[in-house]
């Protein structure tokens, strides 16, 4: 088994004891991404649309660092502070993903790191 740690400056540095992503053979496991600006490590905005966009941008940048792309995602997890934002997540996903869409779970949670409104993580199968 070939195991590799994936890190990029184009996504926020880990704010805990985890890697941005880990690849094992043809699988890539991307840790939860929240809407932080990678350079300042500050929340991009209080606006849900901007937070969704930044969280997915961070996810995509890690995936690109793993020599992969969004179409390789087989399972996506979305954690929302408020499930009323679920339609906005769908609208953003329609812009950045092509069909067939990945399998997905969307879960409302009581709190997320730094009190953001969204977090996303993913599992990919490459090649």
What pLDDT is attached to residue 118?
99
Domain count, the chain: 1
Task: Report the pLDDT value the prediction gives residue 127, as an integer from 0 to 100.
Answer: 83
Q: Domain containing 11: what range?
A: 3-125
Long-range interactions of 83-87: CB distance < 8 A, separation 24+ = 83/108, 85/48, 85/52, 85/117, 85/118
Q: pTM score, two decimals?
A: 0.96
Name the CA radius of gyration of the chain, rounded. Answer: 14
What's phi and psi for 67, nearest 5 deg?
55, 45
Tokens standing for residue 98: 């092509």
Q: What averages of pLDDT result for each successive group of 10 residues across the chain (127 residues)? A: 96 96 98 99 98 99 98 99 99 96 98 98 96
Query: What is the CATH number for 19?
Result: 3.30.1330.40
């Amino acid at each position: 088994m070939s195991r590799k740690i994936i890190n990029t400056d184009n996504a926020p540095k880990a704010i805990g004891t985890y890697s941005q992503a880990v690849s094992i053979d043809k699988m890539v496991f991307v840790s939860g991404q929240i809407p932080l600006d990678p350079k300042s490590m500050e929340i991009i905005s209080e606006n849900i649309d901007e937070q969704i966009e930044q969280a997915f941008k961070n996810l995509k940048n890690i995936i690109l660092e793993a020599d992969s792309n969004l179409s390789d995602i087989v399972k996506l997890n979305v954690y929302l502070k408020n499930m009323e934002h679920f339609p906005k997540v769908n609208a953003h996903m329609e812009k950045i993903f092509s069909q067939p869409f990945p399998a997905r779970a969307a879960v409302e949670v009581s709190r997320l790191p730094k009190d953001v409104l969204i977090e996303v993580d993913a599992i990919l199968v490459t090649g």
